């Protein structure tokens, strides 16, 4: 079974004043394919940092530890190599790419990931179907990537990519934030379709248990101050809802 393994990961960022600041301070996580791991934690605890570090954003420097995908050293790979190896990140704040249409972007990405251009006829059908499932208006295909998209539309667009690119492991960084109740359901169903069809491992970063009613995690990790403070089953999420993060913070 394919596994994404994160061992004792330490990550720093460069500060504006020239110094460096350690954000991740020894993260351990193991995700098997088909598993859903929820990561919850206070603002600023380093959840997005973890997500970006897995994907390889140049802003983050790994100073210790390892990330492996089926034993392969992910940290030695460039951003695009990681994507082609099967990693996917649905971003908390997807960026705009002016002048590039969604359909062009999706086709280019698919071609890059698969190493060959998708068969035109089935591809057009697949895109249409996936957009339909996510209740995205067909006109989005001809709009520029994320340009003038609403917050919720950007999130749907991220899940659209996940469905079409079929990664082995997907990190979803607050995909539920900013979604209305209906959109939350629609997007969750998209993730569940992926889980049912290609069965990727999913790392689901969220602040709310609401999404966990639709996407059932097997594991919940409490992320505090740059590391996993506690892990458990789905019931841990419910207890967080009641008690908050206070007990972890005081312990730290």
Answer whether 36's CB lies under 8 Å from 234's CB: no
Q: Is 19 in the site for ligand ATP (CB under 6 A)?
A: no
- Could you list the residues that contact Mg ion (CB under 5 A)? 47-48, 92
Q: Is 77 in the site for other proteins (CB under 8 A)?
A: no
CA quadruple 202, 161, 84, 123: dihedral positive or negative? positive
Answer whether 61's CB lies under 8 Å from 13's CB: yes
CB under 8 A: which stretch of 31-39, 68-76, 85-93, 239-247 binds other proteins? 85-93
CB under 6 A: which stretch of 47-55, 68-76, 149-157, 242-250 binds ligand ATP? 47-55
Q: Is 56 left (phi over 0), alpha (psi -120 to 50) or beta?
A: left
Contact code string over 162-201 relative to other proteins, x by CB under 8 A? ---x------------------------------------
Q: Is 95 in the site for other proteins (CB under 8 A)?
A: yes
Instruction: Output the CA angle 151-152-157, nearest 5 degrees.
Output: 100
CA 117 to chain centre: 25
Answer whether 23's CB lies under 8 Å from 49's CB: yes
The entry of Mg ion, other proteins, ligand ATP, none that residue 15 binds, CB within 5 to 8 Å by partner kind: ligand ATP
Answer whether 96's CB lies under 8 Å from 144's CB: yes
Contact residues: ligand ATP, CB under 6 A: 13, 15, 21, 23, 41, 43-49, 92
Contact residues: other proteins, CB under 8 A: 55-59, 78-80, 82-84, 88-89, 91, 94-100, 105, 108-109, 112-113, 144, 161, 165
């Amino acid at each position: 079974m394919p596994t994404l393994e994160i061992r004792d990961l330490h990550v720093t960022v460069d500060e504006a004043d020239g110094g460096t600041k350690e954000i991740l301070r020894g993260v351990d996580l193991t995700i098997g394919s088909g598993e859903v791991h929820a990561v919850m934690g206070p603002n600023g605890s380093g959840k997005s940092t973890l997500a970006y570090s897995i994907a390889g954003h140049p802003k983050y420097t790994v100073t210790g530890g390892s990330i492996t995908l089926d034993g392969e050293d992910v940290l030695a790979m460039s951003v695009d190599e990681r994507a082609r190896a099967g990693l996917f990140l649905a971003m908390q704040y997807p960026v705009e790419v002016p002048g590039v249409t969604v359909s062009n972007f999706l086709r280019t990405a698919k071609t890059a990931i698969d190493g060959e251009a998708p068969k035109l006829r089935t591809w057009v059908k697949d895109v249409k179907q996936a957009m339909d499932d996510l209740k995205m208006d067909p006109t989005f295909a001809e709009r520029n990537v994320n340009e003038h998209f609403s917050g919720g539309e950007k999130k749907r667009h991220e899940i659209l990519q996940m469905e079409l690119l079929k990664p082995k492991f997907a990190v979803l960084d607050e995909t539920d934030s900013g979604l209305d109740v209906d959109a939350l359901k629609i997007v969750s169903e998209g993730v569940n379709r992926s889980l049912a069809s290609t069965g990727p491992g999913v790392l689901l970063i969220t602040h709310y248990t609401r999404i966990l009613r639709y996407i059932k995690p097997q594991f919940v990790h409490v992320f505090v101050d740059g590391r996993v403070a506690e892990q458990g089953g789905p019931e841990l999420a419910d207890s967080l809802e009641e008690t908050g993060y206070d007990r972890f913070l005081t312990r730290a």
